[in-house]
Homo-oligomer: A and B are copies of this chain.
Amino acid sequence: MGTVGAMEDGHARAAGLRSTRQRRAVLDALGRCPEFISAQELHARLTDAGGTVGLTTVYRTLRELDRAGLVDVVRDDSGERLYLRRPTDEHRHYLICRCCGRSQPVDAEAVEVWAAGLAEATGFAELEHTLELTGVCADCRPGGAEEPCPRQPACAR
């Protein structure tokens, strides 16, 4: 707990970010959430738990975590951003269940290789890509295609 000039004492020492009660709370709540979560939902959990963190601060903190590469971000169908504390420091892609929100990292190495070859093939530089994968997980599929979403979200969105 010293003088680290970091966002968290131990982790997340992004450059020039002070360690504040609010940022620690956001990072902590995010760390205990196994699935992608929205800024609003995260804020709701923090306040429901009795904490005192402004929605503005949640948005700002998540944006900074994104810049620092500490979270993965996807956008749902409505365009809302969802965040997940990144377990490793690698670039990843996820398959997300449209019913319950469960996420599963996928091995997209084939895509990475393909994307890397695009630069030469097209003459474009500084290539970036986003790849969003959605589907219906096994648990959300009772047998046929009866109910659109038979079960409640595992990690309520």
Write the residues of chain A forming the contact surface with B, with a CB cutoff of 8 angstroms: 75, 79, 95, 97-98, 104, 106, 108, 110-111, 114-115, 118-119, 121-138, 141, 145
Contacts and interface: CB of A to CB of B under 8 A. Distances in A.
Given A106-B121, A111-B114, A130-B131, 10 more contacts: A98-B126, A104-B124, A106-B122, A110-B111, A126-B145, A127-B134, A128-B135, A129-B132, A130-B132, A131-B132
Nearest to A141: B125
Contacts of A130: 130-132
Contact of A75 (B75, B104, B125, B145): B75
Contacts of A133: 115, 118, 127-129
8 contacts: A95-B118, A95-B127, A104-B124, A106-B118, A110-B114, A111-B111, A124-B135, A124-B136
Contact of A124 (B95, B121, B124): B95
Instruction: Report how many copies the assembly holds.
Output: 2
Nearest to A115: B133
Given A75-B79, A132-B130, A124 B111 contact: no
**Which 4 pairs from chain A and chain B are nearest by CB?**
A124-B135, A79-B79, A127-B135, A123-B138
A132 B93 CA distance: 13
A135 B106 contact: no
Nearest to A75: B79
B123 A134 contact: no
